[in-house]
């Protein structure tokens, strides 16, 4: 973790550059870029970049972390006004798909092959699965869902989200990420929804 970036507030210019950096790496990945390339793409000096991170690797990690923080906020905002327990689960996973739409194949491949960014991705995937688990628990408490093994459900969601993020689901089914997340949401809700003839 880049302590220098984490421990202080960014100037307006640095915040602007960080947002531009995130857009750049989402569109093109980061493995092929040098710091000189990034500086040229962002129309800034290398010295300005060093205020965000001291190396290309730290810069990539900072950008990926910033992206996932923004994605988390975006997803939570998307479900804030939703009251139906089933709709909250579905909307949450749909919002995850929407937040990940800007992520190109190059970005996902680079995140997967660089250990620090892969750890960020894994942590966010696990956190998203746990968030769905809490949504299911909330629905169970109000009687909308039946009692299920939520630990197992969270494991299934985590494994599926990893396969979606790696591109495996798209390769094996032809579904886009958005379509896959929608199907996952429907599957989860169908599995936990209370039905009169089920125990």
Q: What percent of the chain has pLDDT over 70?
A: 93
Q: What is the pLDDT of residues 70-125, one digit of tens each?
A: 999 999 999 998 999 999 999 999 999 999 989 998 999 999 999 999 999 999 99
Q: State residue 8's pLDDT score.
A: 55
Above 70 in pLDDT, residue 197? Answer: no
**Higher-confidence residue: 79 or 148?**
79
Q: State residue 105's pLDDT score.
A: 86
Look up the CATH number of the domain holding residue 145.
Answer: 1.10.357.10
Phi, psi at 96, each rounded to 5°:
-60, -45
- Does a structural domain hold residue 199? no
pTM over 0.75: yes
Above 90 in pLDDT, residue 178? Answer: no
- Does a structural domain hold residue 35? yes
Q: State residue 195's pLDDT score.
A: 60
Q: Biggest alpha carbon distance in the chain?
A: 67
- Does a structural domain hold residue 198? no
Helix (H, G, I), strand (E, B) or coil at 149: coil
Q: State residue 127's pLDDT score.
A: 93
Q: Which neighbouring-strand residues pair with 29? A: none
Above 50 in pLDDT, residue 199? Answer: no
Number of structural domains in the chain: 1
Q: State residue 52's pLDDT score.
A: 87
Q: What is the pLDDT of residues 158-172, one digit of tens each?
A: 999 989 888 889 899
Above 60 in pLDDT, residue 1? Answer: no
- Does a structural domain hold residue 53? yes
* Cα 43 from Cα 11, distance rounded (Å): 17
Answer for the pair 63, 30: CB distance below 8 angstroms, yes or no: yes
Tokens of 70: 């923004």
Q: State residue 7's pLDDT score.
A: 40
Look over the chain and give the mean of its residue pLDDT values, rounded to a whole number: 88
The H or E element that residue 28 is part of is helix 12-28
* Cα 79 from Cα 92, distance rounded (Å): 6
Q: How far is CA 158 from the centre of its chain?
A: 12
* Cα 177 from Cα 172, distance rounded (Å): 12
- Does a structural domain hold residue 133? yes
Above 90 in pLDDT, residue 6? Answer: no
Closest CA to 110 of 19, 24, 1: 24
Answer for the pair 148, 68: CB distance below 8 angstroms, yes or no: no
Q: What is the mean pLDDT of residues 125-137?
A: 92
Domain that holds residue 125: 3-192
Q: State residue 85's pLDDT score.
A: 93
- Does a structural domain hold residue 179? yes
- Does a structural domain hold residue 175? yes
- Does a structural domain hold residue 197? no
């Amino acid at each position: 973790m880049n302590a220098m970036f984490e421990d202080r507030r960014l100037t307006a210019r640095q915040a602007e550059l960080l947002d531009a950096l995130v857009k750049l790496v989402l569109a093109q990945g980061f493995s092929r870029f040098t710091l000189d390339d990034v500086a040229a793409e962002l129309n800034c000096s290398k010295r300005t970049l060093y205020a965000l991170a001291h190396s290309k690797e730290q810069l990539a990690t900072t950008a990926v972390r910033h992206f996932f923080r923004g994605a988390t906020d975006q997803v939570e905002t998307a479900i804030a006004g939703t009251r139906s327990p089933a709709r909250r689960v579905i909307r949450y996973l749909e919002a995850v798909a929407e937040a990940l739409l800007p992520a190109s194949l190059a970005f996902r491949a680079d995140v997967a092959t660089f250990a620090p960014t892969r750890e960020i991705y894994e942590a966010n995937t696990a956190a998203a699965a746990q968030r769905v688990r809490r949504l299911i628990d909330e629905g169970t408490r109000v009687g909308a869902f039946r009692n299920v093994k939520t630990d197992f459900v969270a494991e299934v969601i985590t494994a599926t989200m990893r396969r979606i993020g790696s591109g495996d689901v798209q390769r094996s089914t032809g579904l886009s990420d958005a379509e896959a997340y929608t199907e996952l949401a429907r599957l989860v809700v169908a599995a936990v929804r209370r039905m009169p003839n089920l125990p």
